[in-house]
Structures are given as structure tokens and as C-alpha cells.
Structure 1
């Protein structure tokens, strides 16, 4: 079956051209937004020769075809579905987001905001971890000029985190990015008490029309600036609606910044700080008092949360942990990492067990990608498809998650799991991180194999795949 024949065969299995709202493709997958997912026959789609997997996630139907080939299948389908349904990948993502529920849309928004700033946080976290290791081993003098300069480099992303978040959030909250950055600058202005000194109490207050306002900055915070930029979007749009065009360029930014800045310092900022601290300290309390049980639960459930897409919102929580001077470590990411590694172990077991060549073609690269922190192909293309590998991976993630919590493994950044995550693991937790990864991978692999022996049929045959 060639690319054109595959495109013709796919169309009725997706529900026909009338069921397709948007269609595009990425490097390896055909991505579609459909009106009724019940009309999509994933089992029949997977049976096609060129298709390596098919699943639905985040409001999209994603059909794994492979690099190069997917372009040809997409081009062959284009005249069959009509030009109105063929869109850019960004348009497909926007259409898919419109079909998600409130929790999924919130998670997607937070993901859109935090994913672009992950590289700079990873870079800062990697440098921070390296400096910490050099100091703890006595290989560097913490008072030396060079060390102090590098320490400034490592902490800048966290000190000025509100500016990074504001610029990234401006697009999703439909506000001028430069106004958003100016608002963040107001909230971390040097004239305000540095947020890192709040442990000693608030030093000064303003008496504003009888209202006592703390003269406190929001350096290194997450939730206050998110809420402030979100609020600013409403202010800017409201001002622009009533502002005459002749003076819009001058007075809309002026009034927007004036109103949003005042509300942020007096209302939104304090509320955001309380909510952010409540979330961070609540998670820390669970971590400290739940101990290995917390890791067991979080590690076991994480992959199930990935299916819903809500896991994208965890970046905000992790950034809050790192930015909070009373915590300063990401103790959640090692748990998520164990769950991801476990999915790879289960997928690799399926690769060795199954006799279905198409499943093998998906299972091996999917297993390897889990070790690099990318689990969707393994979860949707292999493990969840046969159920028991997914259960075995959840078990591996739970036990390994319990291990990294019990041994206090922490990370100095966000966004990296699996093997790349080694770059941001704190030096004192490196060995236990590796042990946890072996536990996760090994238990998931063994559990998948034992489940295969129990049902007495190779994965991919008993299911009719």
C-alpha cells in the first residue's frame, strides 16, 4: 500500500471528510481535529501498512506514520478533504484546544507559558547545581570573585522569573508583551523590599488612602505575575474599547499600566503570593510527611495524569518550588522522571515479546524516547493500547517514585527527565536517581513480561492488532 492508497483508506476510518475540522502534520505524525472522535476507528487505522500507531490526545487524533512519509500521506489526503480543513500546525493546536475541557485548557495555557522559558531555567539550574557540587566538595571557594560572578549567572533566571513569565504569558493572555514586562518590572522594582528577605518580616508599609499596603517585591514568584498579566489583559481590552483612536497610542498603555500596576501591588500580588505559598508549602508538607507513600502515589498516577494532559500545568508548580527561598529545590520532577522511565521499560518488553512487526517498529523507538523524557508514543502507541504494560509501568513508576522520595533526590531545574535529567539532579542525589531509574525500568519490564505469561499470548495478537 503506497501513500496515496493509505490516504484513501484513512479517510473513511476517520469518519469521512465531513468529520475533519482541521488537518496538519508534524515531523512524524498526521494530526487531525475531528468533530466526533467516536467515528474514528483506531484499531483499523493501526492495521494499515504505513501506519505505526494511532491515538487521541489533547483534542487531536494523531496518526504515527514516520518522517518523510507523513508529508506524502498528508499531501495525498489534502484534495480528498478539501482546502478548508487543511491548516497550519498552530491552527490545528488552537482548534484542538477549543474542544478541551476547562482543566485541559488551563493546563495547556500553563504549558504554553512555561515551555518556552524551560531552556533558560534548565541552564540556570544546571549552573546552580554545578556550583553547589563544587562548593560542597571543597573544590571551589564560595567567596572568590569568579564563584560570585557565576553565582549571579545561576540565580538571575530565578530572581527575574516574573519578567520571563510575563513576556511568555502575554501572548496567551492577549496583552502587549512590553506592557506585561513593564508590569513585572514594577512588581520586582528595587524600591520594594526584596522578596528573599521576607523571612525577617515586612519592613515598610504604605498608607494608601487608609489602606495599609506592604512595600514588598515579588522577585522569584510565579503565581502573582501570572494573575497580574491575566488581569492586565482585561484592563487593556476594556480601555481600548472606550479610547478614541486618535489618542489610543498614548493613553491606552498609560491607563493600562497605571491601573494594572496599582491593582497588582494592592490586591492581585498579595493574593497570588498567598496562593503560591499555600501550594508550595502544601506540596512540601505532603512530601515531608507522606514520605515514600507520597512518591508511591505520585509516581503511580503520573502517567494516568499525562493521558488527560493536565500534567502540563505542573511546570508552574515546579517553578514555584524552585523560586521559593524556603524550599529552593524541585522534589516533584524526580518522581515524574521515574514514571517516564518506567513507560520505556514496559514498551521495551513489548518490543521483545510481540511478533507483530509494526508494533515492534513503534515500541523500540518509543522506549528509547521515554529515556529522553518523551512518553506519548509509548503511552498511546504501545502501553495503553495493551493495558497491562501500562499497569506495569505505573507499578514501576510508583515504586521508583517512592525510592527517590525516601532518598531525598532533588533537582535544580524543570523540564528534563530521564537521562537528560541527570544534568539538573543535585549531586547528593545522583546515585539514588540512577538506582531509581533502574528500579522503574526493571519493574516495568518484568511486570509487562509476567503479564504476557499470564495471558499466554504475545502483545499485538490477542488484541487483534
Structure 2
């Protein structure tokens, strides 16, 4: 692989150096912030050798590379040195939702520090193994030294977060690290310990300072650096030019340091405690629930690049309670399930290329890095994805029921199973191994049974030379086809577009299935098939239908419109009601939905696309209710 050439192709196809605001990378993907994503040649990038996939989510343009991402990143940084500096400024504020901005911020802060956290977690896991097998004594100097080496990244986590937060919030990183040092200074730590033991209080010029320890904390330093990003420009503005060199940093660190100790730090500590208490409450109510959900749906979060939003919760749980019982166990079940599903494809496929890719990607997935398996195999063939979700969900359920505890983190996979050793017992480790085994066995068997090699040139569709592109006459293929067809007509008036044009990876990446979308010009939705209403939702934003032949269809009116909780929507049918083509299904106030900031584009998805040899669409044309829209071919 010519990484230098690949780096050049990536730069060229994201719109060139001038279109790049910033670039970071995680374990498997490049994460660009682009000035104009519409300039990027996404289709070209997806078909480029060395690139597994492209996702746009959370304000980031993400290119999935795999384990070689570090090498590609270095070649890009060599070609554009400014990307590797701390002063990369964004020239334009992207038009993002609040949720996207929050996820993008969390990702940008935590992605750069993951190597340090992973190294610390793995070191502590190895140390646990050495103690369990009596290779070292936990009273020895060997143990003590390895222990503080493994604990260092967690104890000084505020300083690591200070640096990455400063880059994200565009403020001075060295002042931010100094701020982390203030919160962790041994003298302040001693004062807090003394007050905790003997009582009393801490104050600065009469201003009360909360006696809170900030070692291993997450939220206080992030909020403090965010506050500093507002204070520093003010200090710059009011500082006289002649003395700005020292007056600006002096004013910044004094104001932010005092406010952090007196207000922001205690507030962040309180938020951490609330999150921890909420997790404990949820565990008491249904300890199996969250690991099951995470085990099931983590592949979809990874596909959309939003899984890093879970990382701070898992870290906060471990640093607040000493262990995590919800995030890391669930992600362990999901990751090994993904690896096992891909491995099953490698065992069953008769295609040498697929066999090699699936086997190597599956092995990587079992060890905790799932993007090669997800993008190279599971999303590509669909049935391995469903198998991974099934295995991950059941494995997560087991670990939730047995309340498995993770003590040191790391990339969830077989290599980090020792991170479940703690509290002087092997019970959590044993149950984590059992849960992982459950995920692997179920995902592997299910994937092996369901997977079929993709059709080749010997497929009857190819032999009969049937048209599989958008025909010019507005129809979807020949009427004299010898194979079984299910025709779906348009349920709305508007313009039909490809799913790839939707700004939501769940639909554009065809994670839920193949189909088409309509930009509606009228809010009336009618039945596009003869069949049965099989799914209604409290939010009324979507409806599921099943044809008499078994095709399953989802009509999703708008993007993220579940947040409207049904406002602006009205169902015209009931669950299990029989419908015919043209029968009213629901109505929506398109102006209201748009006024709330939501995209009204309506995906129409064949959710069991894997059961069909091909899904033909009629896109980029104006449609009326009843016009032929989709043909599903078996």
C-alpha cells in the first residue's frame, strides 16, 4: 500500500487543503472537519483502495481506514503540516444541531487521549493477571511501580483532557494544562484531605473554595477550559499592548483558576455524582437493560461515529465508583459479536477475497477494533450485522444480569478481559468471559447460517440482461421478467432522491435497508402497498407495513423527528389494520416540522432487503402518490 499516494488522494477528494478546517484520528478512522462537505467526492473515496467507508456525522467527515490510520494520518500531516499544530482554526461555524455539536465536541476531546487511556487500562489489566497467577506480590515494589505507571493516565486525566479540550475550544493549551495542574496540585490535594478529616473550610480572600478532589475527574476540567475559551479573548482585549505578553495569561489563569476552584469544579463534580447516581438507580431498577441495549446497538453507533459519546460515561463510572457495569460490558459483548460474525463469513465464503478480508477483520474485531469488520464485512452483507447485534444483545444481557464490573477500561475485546479482575475476586472476570463466549457463539452460528455469497455474473438477472439502472421512461425494469417482483408505489407527492443524499448515516449507509427517499411537497401519506400495518409509534413520525408477499416497509417522515413526540403528526390507521394502495396512513404538518428545525425528507426503506436479490429505485424525479417507486426482485 502506497500510503503517501493514499494520503494525497484523500486530501484531493475531501476538497483540498483549503477545505479542511481540522483533522484528528482515532483507532481506525480519520475525522475531518470540513468547511463545505458538499465539495467532497464521497463516492470516489468509498471506492478508493485502502478506504473501508465514509461517514458524515456529528459535524465530522469520517474516513474509515482501519489499523493503518496512523500511517495515513502522518502522511497527510506531512503534506499539510498545519493540520498537526495546535492552532488550527475553523473559519466557518457549521450548521449543526445541538446534539451534533455536543457529540462532535465529546468526540474531539476524547479521541486524542484514547491511546493514553488504552495503554493505562491494558497495563493495569496485565498487572491484575500477574497478581492473580501469583507472579508478583501486591506488596512488592514491582507491583507498586507498575501500579502507579498504570494509574498515571487516570490520575492525571484532567491534564490530558485540558490539552485536548483546549484544542477543541480554540484556547491556549498550555494555560489549560496549567489549569489542570491547579486542580491536581499536591498542596491543594493535601488541604482537601485535611478538611475532610478534621473539618473546617478552604477560602481565598474570603471566597469559599469547595473541598473537592479532582484527581481522575472528567467534567470539571472540560467545563473549566470551556470557560477559559471565553475569558482569554476578553483578557486579550483589555490588556495594554505594551504588557500583553504577561498581563493576558495572568488575568486569564487568575480568573479561570479562581472560578474553577470556587464554582465550576464543584459544579462538574456534582454533575459527575448525578450521572453516577443515575446509573446506580438504573442498575437497581433493571441492571440488565443498559448492557443489553449497548450490546445490541453499538454497531449502529459506530457506523454513525457517535459511539465516543459513551466513552465519558464509562470513564466517569469507573473513576466515581471504581468500576463500570454498563458501558464497557455492553461494548465488550458487541465488539466480540461483530468479530465473530465476520469470522463466520470468512469460514463460509467461497470467494477468496471475501474469505481473506472477513477472517482478518473478524480477528481484529475479537480483539476490540471493529471498524474493519463493520465496514468491510458486516454492513456490506447485512446478515452478519444482524447476527452481531443479536449476539451482542444476548451477551450484554447476561453480563447485565450477572452485574459484571469493569475496573480499568481499554478497548473492549478479548485482550482486555483481565480488566474485569478486581475486588479480590475472579467472579466478574469469569462472567465477562462467559458473556463474551455467548456473544461469539450466537453471532458466529447465526451469521454462518444466514450468510450467502453475493450474486455473480451467473446470476439469472445478469444472464437475462435486465436493466438495473433508472430507466428513462419512468418505469423500473421490464414487465416480462421471469423472477418474482414486489412493486411499491409512491406514498407521497414530491421529489424522489437516493438514500445517499440524506444527511443521516443510518439511512444513507443503508444500515436499516435499501430504499429511496422523497422530499415531500404535501403532508398526506398514503399506503404504497396492499398489506398490513405492522408498526406504529408513540411519536407518530413513522409507520411500518408488510406486504402480502412478506416485504417489510418503513416510512420514516423526517429526520430525527421522534424528538417532536408526535406534535404535527396524526395517524389515520390502527395497528394490524388491513390497507390497500392509496389508503390514508398519516398526515404531517410539513411547515411546522420545518419550523422546528427538522429535515422533512422521508426515507422509504425495505427493512428486509437482505431477503431480495435486488432493490431497484426510480430516483431524481418528481412523483405523485401511486407512481411506481421501488421494485424488489427475488
- TM-score computed with the length of structure 1 as normaliser: 0.75
SS in structure 2 opposite 1:415?
coil
Give the CA deviation at 1:438. Answer: 2.2
> Given the superposition, is the C-alpha separation of residues 232 and 250 from structure 1 closer, same or farther in structure 2, using an over 3 Å criterion?
same
Residue 111 of structure 1 corresponds to which residue in structure 2?
107
Answer with 1 or 2: which has the greater Rg.
2
2:414 counterpart (394, 415, 419): 419
> Which moves more between the two structures, 403-412 or 150-159?
150-159
Seen in structure 2, the aligned counterparts of structure 1 residues 436 and 407 have a Cα distance that, compared at 3 Å, is same
1:322-333 aligned at under 5 Å gives the runs 322-324=318-320, 327-331=321-325, 332-333=327-328
Contact kept in structure 1, 2:418 and 2:429, CA below 8 Å: no
Matched, 1:305 2:304: no
Report what 1:3 is aligned to.
none
Could you say what secondary structure the match of 2:216 adopts? Answer: coil
Contact 1:97 1:105 in 2 (8 A): no
Map residues 156-167 of structure 1 onto 2, 5 A cutoff. 156-167=152-163
Residues 460, 275 of structure 1: alpha-carbon distance in 2 compared, 3 angstrom cutoff: farther
Q: Which runs of 5+ in 2 are unaligned?
A: 1-5, 457-612, 616-634
Kindly indicate which of the two structures has a greater share of residues assigned to helix: 1
Compare 338-347 and 179-188 and name the one that shifted more: 179-188
Pairs within 5 Å for 1:164-243: 164-192=160-188, 203-206=199-202, 212-243=208-239
- Could you say if the C-alpha distance between residues 89 and 340 of structure 1 is closer, same or farther in structure 2, counting changes exceeding 3 Å? farther
Please provide the CA RMSD for this pair.
Answer: 4.8
CA distance, structure 2, for counterparts of residue 255 and residue 67 of structure 1: 44
Check conservation: 1:195, 1:216, Cα contact below 8 A: no
CA pair 232-65 structure 1, distance change in 2 beyond 3 A: closer
Deviation at 1:342, TM superposition (A): 0.9
Inter-CA distance 394–146: structure 2 relative to 1 (3 Å threshold): closer
Aligned with 1:175: secondary structure? coil
Pair 1:217–1:303, CA change in 2 (3 A): same
What is the rounded CA distance, in whole Å, between the counterparts of 1:54 and 1:418 in structure 2? 22
Cα distance in 1, alignment partners of residues 91 and 454 from structure 2: 34
2:335 alignment partner in structure 1: 340
Q: CA deviation at 1:186?
A: 2.2
Report the alpha carbon displacement of residue 120 of structure 1 after superposing the two structures with TM. Answer: 3.9
Question: How far 1:369 sits from its partner (Å)?
Answer: 1.9
Distance 1:353 1:460, change over 3 A: farther
- Preserved contact between residue 298 and residue 401 of structure 1 (Cα < 8 Å): yes
- 1:350 alignment partner, one of 345, 350, 353: 345
C-alpha displacement at 1:37, in angstroms? 9.1
CA 199–388 in structure 1, closer or farther in 2 if over 3 Å, else same: farther
Structure 1 unaligned blocks of 5 or more = 1-5, 76-85
**Secondary structure of the residue that 2:298 maps to in structure 1?**
helix
Between 224-233 and 371-380, report the one with greater CA deviation: 371-380
- TM (norm. structure 2) is 0.57
Greater shift in the superposed pair: 398-407 or 31-40: 31-40
- Cα deviation code 1:381-439 (max 9, x no counterpart): 32123322211111111111122233333333233221321343316233333322222
The structure with more strand, counted as a fraction of residues? 2
Q: What is the correspondence of 1:52-71 to structure 2 with a 5 Å cutoff?
A: 53-58=52-57, 59-60=60-61, 62=63
> Within the alignment, does 1:392 sit opposite 2:387 as a pair?
yes
Q: CA deviation at 1:178?
A: 2.4
In 2 relative to 1, CA 275–146 (structure 1 residues): closer, same or farther, beyond 3 Å?
same
Instruction: Give 1:81's aligned residue.
Output: none
1:448 alignment partner in structure 2 = 447
- Judged with a 3 Å threshold, the aligned counterparts in structure 2 of structure 1 residues 300 and 63 are, in CA distance, closer, same or farther, namely closer
CA displacement, residues 317-361 of structure 1 (integer Å, 9 cap, x when unaligned): 22222222xx11133213212101111122222334445555445
SS of 2:310's partner is helix
For 1:112 and 1:421, how far apart are their aligned partners in 2?
Answer: 24
| Corresponding residue SS for 1:412 | coil
* Structure 2 CA distance for aligned equivalents of residues 319 and 65 of structure 1: 24
Question: Over residues 206-231 of structure 1, what are the superposed CA-to-partner deviations in whole Å (9 max), with x where a residue is unaligned?
Answer: 56787654233322211011100111
